[in-house]
Amino acid sequence: MVLGLKVYHEIRQYKDDFRVWHSNYKNMSFLSHWHNEIELILVKEGSANITVDGNSYFMNKGDLLIIGSNSLHYNDSYQINNSLEFILFDPDLIIPMDLIWHKNIYFPGEFLKNNNLENTVSYTFDNISKELTALQPRYKKIVTYNLLILWHSLQRFIPEVDVSDKKIGIRKTEKALTYIKNHYHEQISLKDVADYVGLSQSHFSAVFHQFIGINFSQYIQILRIDEAIHMLQGSNRKIIDIALETGF
């Protein structure tokens, strides 16, 4: 039984720079994890009990769940029969670079049916599966187009947050991310970054978690690990040297 106690950062490997993945699984559970990609989960058969950022969704056939970038999630569907279909994709494919998608949205199958979205969802999953399998010319454009159509069709039914608050939060978070990117190899603290963006430590911590989905310390560790992995690939350098260079 998955209790969500073990947590890991999933870094998915792709064949090239086109970061879209599709798969089907039956009767599965998975441990707590998070990743940079946005994830779409469609229940094809049976039921599933999926928890995202502490909110549990008991999903049935036809239900769709959007899991935002860096949201902690796990599937506790022990002894529940199901068939689940997954799509993961890089947010940069469809979301403007000046926005950070952190929402988790649950669409019951009945809602999709009543709003003429059921066929759009089904077609998108089926066609992306075919395109990623066949890899015919211009498949990347077609997959991206399919994602855009589905994404914006669903966006019509997602309430917008207060625009002014959202823009302020985005600006502060972007400024913090730039600072962290330039200084992650140093021993920077929450206070250092909070002072840089002009917020108190508690306010900055809340804003950062709201838009990134994980806390400041977790983000720093993830960034350092990602950079260390990148530096280790195809390198003969000592691990200790890379660790020191990336701030460990």
State the pLDDT at residue 214: 73
pLDDT tops 80 at residue 63: yes
* The pairing of beta strand 55-60 with beta strand 38-52: antiparallel
Percent of the chain with pLDDT over 70: 80
**For 5-14, which contacts have Cβ atoms below 8 Å and span 24 or more sequence positions?**
5/32, 6/31, 6/32, 7/31, 7/32, 7/33, 7/34, 7/72, 8/32, 8/33, 9/33, 9/34, 9/35, 9/222, 9/225, 10/34, 10/35, 11/35, 11/226, 11/229, 12/37, 12/88
* The pairing of beta strand 38-52 with beta strand 20-26: unpaired
Rounded to an integer, the average pLDDT of 39-58 is 91
* The pairing of beta strand 30-34 with beta strand 7-9: parallel
Better pLDDT: 37 or 181: 37
Least confident of 119-123, 141-145, 207-211: 207-211
Q: Which residues neighbour 159 within 8 Å (Cβ) at sequence distance 6 or greater?
A: none
State the pLDDT at residue 138: 97
Residue 41 near residue 85 (C-beta atoms within 8 A): yes
